[in-house]
Chain A
Amino acid sequence: MTSNLTNESARVAAMFRKMLVIRAFEEAAGENFFAGYVRGSVHQYIGEESIAVGICENLRDDDYLTSNHRGHGHSIAKGADPRAMMLELFGKVGGTSDGKGGSMHIADFSVGMLGANGVIADGCTISVGAAQAVKLLGQDRIVVNFIGDGGINRGPFMEALNWAKVYELPVLFVCENNQIAATTTTRLVTAGEGIARRAESFDVPAVTIDGNDLFTVDGTAARVISEIRNGSGPQLIQAMTYRLRGHFAHDDAGYREPGEAEAALEHEPIRRTESWLCENGLSQDELDAMRAEVTAEIAGYVDDAMQADWPDPSLAFTDVQDVGAPNMPGAIS
């Protein structure tokens, strides 16, 4: 990369690269789902990369994060190893859970990533608990919970907001508002003004931003996270965005308005960040080279995942619990 970049351009370029890694990871996950190598549900984060990257850029490694079903981007942004994640999607040894969890259960506790989640809004209550532990242990970590706009209609979201405020916990709720939950338009099943108003009704400060604008996300996160770390209590960021793909890889999103997804491409975060970089010190050649490098990196992980070993079946019976662990099959039938 050019050496004469300003500090700001260099920082943005680093974030941009992370967004590219997420995008390439998700494209590869989808391709390998269709090729039959990745089973189950693959919820892609395509079009929302600036949110995870802009938020996590302002976190420390020891801050905690809880995620949802659409967790690949959150995990990569928090510092989880995309190679181990790819191996997990393939169900192979060396995956983040050696194949026990799969796409909806990616976790990397070494970087504070406390887990994706297959159950909507369960991350909200887990977050306030993690924050309570932080308080009890006298640490200055903060906890970030990613939740979707559909998830805010489950009770645990409201209970967690109340709880976080009652105990003045260091939690940042980030609601990724892509206006849709699976095939259902959120506004049709959500009363009132929604997310931000709900937070404010618990005296949890809330701000609504353009989540596809990396600069806004980064700037807002920097301010809010430092306030929380300095004792402001819980806050919420509502990041407006758009899910460029179906709910999961095997959803063709036929319920969208014609032209809707195409129009949304105008506002998608990678393009926007790329134009900024073009105007601020990076040549198109350099950007193309970065993209090629990232694509090759992810392709390498896919190759590794193809070649990696399947877990030994005995692994199915480990890590259940200590006292009262299961028998290996055949021991008792």
Chain B
Amino acid sequence: MSEMTYAQAARLGLQEEMRRDPTVWALGEDLGYEGGMAGQYSDLQAEFGADRIVDTPISESTIMGAAVGAALAGTRPIAELRFSDFAMCAVDELVNQAAKARYMFGGQARVPMVARMPIGIRGGIAAQHSQSPEAWYTHVPGLVVVTPGTPAENRGLLKAAIRCDDPVVYMEHKGLWGVTGEVDENDPSEIPLGVARTVRDGRDITIVSWAAQVGVAAEAAEALASEGISAEIIDLRTLWPWDRDTVMASVARTGRLLVVHEAVRVGGFGGEIAAEVAEELGVPVARLGGERIPIPFSIPLEEAYKIKADRIAARVREMPA
């Protein structure tokens, strides 16, 4: 076991996959010298060469489109878009091409690519660098959507994403890059896609979340515990496919569901989970998510957007028992 950051763990996962499979490669801006925004590619160009860690022009459409083409032609590219906000410059290539090629071409094609596009608030980078658009991609048939929550998961899930034969939208949360955790370097296994992790066991309510918001939900659970409310917390880890079995089994026991995410609540993925659970189990459900505003710059405004632990706890208290 060693202690490493979420960013370092992603780098390790990528390095292991690149050593294992010579068809794995990455393309994006500033990957060589800079090594990625948080060092997720540090020194990998020295090890694998400039043909496998490719520094590209500022050409997002082509970063994504080239990854599609390279995936169709026998390699496993990782398109690094740096911010999910910039990935919006390449949504066409992802949604109209990557997601649909297998289907449109009657199963002749596979698109084993990873589109890395970090999400979330990192503090003071405002409306065009802080968004959490994960729900957009859950709506697109053909895509897998992953939101790793811990260092170990950022290694194991990235490995699974790289090995996946379908296109994966891989969304690290920028606020987690510096978070440290235990990673077992001797265990090279992947963490399977579509499997949630129960972060905390509880009896009275199930709180489902993902990415950086899981930590905030855990804080709320701590506060609730002191009042005698026992909250179970589930980190979804993969949004599509989401782990229905784990969530349904938990809510069947606790009898209530709250979904919390940093992304805007309106049209957020919490709505999908809440609706599925309500339809299947008929229990009380609720959602918490960001108000429908762009992410502001100034500290008090940015703070006003965030879903804090006290709001989560308050929402739980309001729910019918």
Interface residues of A (CB under 8 A from B): 39-41, 88, 91-92, 95, 97-102, 104-105, 117-121, 150-151, 153-155, 181-184, 188-190, 255, 310-317, 320, 324, 326-327, 329, 333
Contacts and interface: CB of A to CB of B under 8 A. Distances in A.
Nearest to A121: B58
B124 interface: yes
A67 to B, nearest CB: 13
A324 B57 CA distance: 39
Interface string B114-134: 000000000111111100000
Interface string B274-311: 00000000000010100111101111111111000001
Interface in B31-90: 33-34, 55-62, 85-86, 89
B30 interface: yes
Nearest to B123: A39
B153 interface: no
A131 B124 CA distance: 32
A118 B294 CA distance: 14
B293 A320 contact: yes
Given A39-B123, A101-B126, A311-B301, A118 B85 contact: yes
Interface of B: 29-30, 33-34, 55-62, 85-86, 89, 123-129, 286, 288, 291-294, 296-305, 311, 314-315, 318
A99 B302 CA distance: 10
Majority secondary structure of chain A interface residues (helix, strand, loop or mixed) = loop
Contact of B126 (A40, A95, A320): A40
Instruction: List the 4 closest A-B pairs by CB distance, nearest first.
Output: A39-B124, A99-B298, A91-B298, A102-B297
Contact of A317 (B126, B128, B293, B298): B293
B58 A91 contact: no
Contacts of B288: 333
Contact of B300 (A117, A255, A313, A326): A313
Nearest to B56: A189
A333 to B, nearest CB: 6
B124 A184 contact: no
Given A104-B128, A316-B301, A188 B55 contact: yes
A119 B131 CA distance: 13
B292 A320 contact: yes
